[in-house]
Amino acid sequence: MGLISVAQKINSDFWRGKRILLTGHTGFKGSWLSLWLQSMGATLRGIALDPPTNPALFDVARVAEGMEHRIVDIRDFTLVKMQMDEFQPEIVIHMAAQPLVRYSYQEPIETFATNVMGTVHVLEAARLISSVKAVINVTTDKCYENHEWVWGYRENEPMGGHDPYSSSKGCSELVTSAYRRSFFEQAGIALASVRAGNVIGGGDWSEDRLIPDVLRAFTVKMPVLIRSPSAIRPWQHVLEPLSGYLMLAQALYQEGEKYSSGWNFGPNDMDTRPVRWIVEHMTNKWDDHATWIQDKDDQPHEANYLKLDISKAKNHLGWKPIWNLELALEKIVDWHKAWLSGADMRSFCEQQIAAYQSDTKISQA
Ligand SMILES: NC(=O)c1ccc[n+]([C@@H]2O[C@H](COP(=O)([O-])OP(=O)(O)OC[C@H]3O[C@@H](n4cnc5c(N)ncnc54)[C@H](O)[C@@H]3O)[C@@H](O)[C@H]2O)c1
């Protein structure tokens, strides 16, 4: 792998007019990424199911206004292939997934069908379209076989997963590796997978996720029920891994194969924090008598200690975390309060993206 060359920052000129197919654009991360790509002038088509929550960032921030929005189930290969044929993308970013650990225990078939065969369908369709130059598959930090150890996982460590969600993402990684070696390398299409930590930000209303649970409880002035206060996770604002995906996509497109591998995009070590730390910070930032209590009911197994080693992205891509956890929590509280007060959330998101981008430039100066 060579040293950093093209991918030192997000380059709006690169994205202007580029044809991007994004799966999962109606979800939390997909909505933020769609707004970001729109702000840089990309020609964007999204394929996904209806927004997974109500309310949803996709509706609240009027994400569909700046893109081609298609409802497509990625479990149906014919439909995915039709979209790819019709749109002729240059870059494909695959984010659509069943992303919840606890739900995956209730619906393992749906989880594996979406996360494993859905990935096969997207990669298969991409390899058959000559316009495609670069593909990113979004998996997760949970794709690694978790040893509950104190060190961060590196990109070359084995895939695994105890629960169906984590396992399905480990499988999605194996699918990516097989497609890269069997087809994409020969076809000259750059293919990478990206593994982010626990992503937080304004506009997430998912079930069973810490920040949405906390905000729901605060809004109705109830104590928050916390399942595992001492569980340690790599927390990061949603714009952090998205900036990594954008930089990586630029590098894949411009320099191809040497970036075609797995990439961790996690926070700095100090932001791998216990759940309790987050909840206490949120309670202080919210005021208004916010409190929390521990949920003592039996819970299905979830990873307790999970950290990512981000040396590769720092050294070979020039990417680094910009907003620390403290600032990320402030941005979330600001976002949620703006939403509660009836602000225009599309422009609020655009302002947060612009602020992030200018902080990136300052930190690179
Ligand atoms: N949120 C996190 O903390 C986090 C952390 C690491 C990785 N990820 C990964 O990032 C990606 C996006 O996560 P998110 O938090 O935005 O999830 P989300 O639930 O908000 O969005 C999921 C998206 O996938 C789409 N989708 C689900 N099933 C589909 C199907 N059968 N066909 C087409 N589209 C389908 C939904 O419509 C939605 O657009 C996922 O791949 C997830 O595993 C998320």
pLDDT, tens digit (0-9, with 9 covering 90-100), for 150-205 = 899 999 999 999 999 999 999 999 999 999 999 999 999 999 999 998 999 999 99
Q: Read off the pLDDT of each residue in 263-286 and give the average, rounded to a whole number.
A: 91
pLDDT tens across 81-139, in order? 999 999 999 999 999 999 999 999 999 999 999 999 999 999 999 999 999 999 999 99
The overall average pLDDT reported for the chain is 93
Give the model's pLDDT for residue 6: 41
74 touches ligand 1 (CB under 6 Å): yes
Distance 99 CA to ligand 1 centre (A): 5
Residue 364 pLDDT class (50, 70, 90 cuts)? low
Residue 8 pLDDT class (50, 70, 90 cuts)? low
Q: Report the predicted TM-score, pTM, of the whole model to 2 decimal places.
A: 0.96
48 touches ligand 1 (CB under 6 Å): yes
Q: Read off the pLDDT of each residue in 73-87 and give the average, rounded to a whole number.
A: 98
Q: Which of 142, 196, 194 is nearest to 168 (CA)?
A: 142
Give the model's pLDDT for residue 102: 92
Ligand 1 pocket mutation pick from 23, 28, 110 by most atoms within 8 angstroms of CB: 28
In this predicted structure, the answer to whether residue 5 has a pLDDT above a threshold of 60 is: no
In this predicted structure, the answer to whether residue 2 has a pLDDT above a threshold of 60 is: no
266 touches ligand 1 (CB under 6 Å): no
